[in-house]
Structure 1
Amino acid sequence: MLNFLLWLILLVLCWPIAILAIILYPIVWLLLLPFRLLGFAIDLSFDLIKNILMLPFNILKKA
C-alpha cells in the first residue's frame, strides 16, 4: 500500500515536469544553436591559425 501511495505521489509530481521538459527541450535547443555554431567557427579559426603557424615546422620535419 505504501509503495502504491509513493508511486501516486511520484506520478502527480513528475508528469508536469516531464511534459514541460518535452515542450521546452526543442526551444532551448534552438536557442543554443547559434552559440554552438559560433563555437564551431571559433574552433575552426583557431585550428587554421595554429596550422598556419606550425606549417614551417611541419615542412622542416618532413625534409
Structure 2
Amino acid sequence: MLGFLIWLCLFILCWPLAIFALLLYPLCWLITLPFRVLGIAVDGVFELLRAIVMLPARLLGGGR
C-alpha cells in the first residue's frame, strides 16, 4: 500500500515535468542546430588542412 501511495505521489508530481520536457526538447534541438552545422564546417576545414599538410608525406610513400 505504501508503494502504491509513493507511486501515486510520483505520478502527480512528475507528469507536468514530463510534458514540459516533451515541449521543450524540440525548441532546444532547434537552438542547437546552427552549432551542429558550424561544428561540421569546422571539422571539414580541419580535415582539409590536415590533408594539405600530410600531402608531401603521402607523395613520398608515407601513406596509411
TM-score with structure 2 length normalisation? 0.92
What residue in structure 1 maps to residue 7 of structure 2? 7
More helix by share: 1
Following TM superposition, the consecutive aligned residue runs of length 4 or more in structure 1 with deviations greater than 3 angstroms are none
Whole-Å Cα distance in 2 between the matches of residues 61 and 13 of structure 1?
66
Q: In the alignment, residue 5 of structure 1 is paired with which amino acid?
A: L
Displacement of 1:13 after TM fit? Answer: 1.3
Partner SS for 1:9: helix
What residue in structure 1 maps to residue 56 of structure 2? 56
Displacement of 1:61 after TM fit? Answer: 1.1
Whole-Å Cα distance in 2 between the matches of residues 55 and 22 of structure 1?
49
Q: 1 or 2 for the larger relative contact order (CA 8 Å, sep ≥6)?
A: 2
Partner SS for 1:61: coil
Cα RMSD, aligned residues only: 0.9
TM-score with structure 1 length normalisation? 0.93
Displacement of 1:33 after TM fit? Answer: 0.2
State the percentage of identical aligned residues. Answer: 55
Whole-Å Cα distance in 2 between the matches of residues 17 and 2 of structure 1?
23
Whole-Å Cα distance in 2 between the matches of residues 41 and 30 of structure 1?
18
